[in-house]
């Protein structure tokens, strides 16, 4: 038996804005949207593709839910994003910053192979060096 990573849940103040931001950042789409919950899935996913994949091989989505409290400390869990080797990594970071991400210092060493950013509500994530797989 195997469990499937189904979703990553993001606590936030404005679920619609956060879902829209992450959809734009990742090229995903929002498939469910209310004031109490928004759900994003990869942009390439469609019903026909899902029918042909084994259940345990379907990748996770992102769910955004409201919470009253603000973010207070560094995340204990974060996303690592990587551009393809055919992409300009610095241009991708600049694109994310244009969308509202900001560079943050979480105590990372000088000159790492990644850049730490935060989404508009302060959730940290990293942009790694370019990868081909």
What's phi and psi for 26, nearest 5 deg? -100, -5
Same domain? 40 vs 82:
no
Report in angstroms the alpha-carbon separations of 40 from 8, 60, 66, 74, 131: 10, 9, 15, 24, 24
Low-confidence winner among 3-7, 26-30, 114-118 (lowest mean pLDDT): 3-7
pLDDT digits (tens, 9 = 90+) for 38-94: 999 998 888 788 788 888 888 899 999 999 998 888 888 999 999 999 999 999 999
Give the CATH number for residue 86.
3.10.180.10
The whole-model pTM stands at 0.90
Same domain? 22 vs 61:
yes
User: What is the residue range of 65's domain?
Assistant: 1-70
Report in angstroms the alpha-carbon separations of 85 from 3, 88, 89, 129, 133: 31, 8, 8, 9, 9
Same domain? 1 vs 66:
yes
Same domain? 62 vs 80:
no
Same domain? 10 vs 46:
yes
């Amino acid at each position: 038996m195997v469990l499937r990573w189904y979703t990553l849940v993001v606590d936030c103040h404005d679920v619609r804005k956060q879902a829209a931001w992450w959809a734009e950042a990742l090229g995903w789409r929002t498939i469910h949207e209310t004031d109490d919950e928004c759900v994003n899935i990869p942009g390439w996913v469609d019903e026909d593709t899902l029918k042909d994949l084994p259940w345990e091989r379907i990748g996770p989505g992102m769910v955004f839910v409201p919470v009253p409290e603000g973010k207070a400390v560094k995340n204990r869990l974060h996303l690592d994003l990587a551009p393809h080797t055919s992409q300009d990594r610095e241009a991708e970071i600049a694109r994310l910053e244009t969308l509202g991400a900001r560079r943050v210092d979480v105590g990372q060493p000088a000159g790492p192979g990644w850049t730490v950013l935060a989404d508009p509500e302060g959730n940290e994530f990293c942009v790694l060096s370019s990868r081909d797989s």
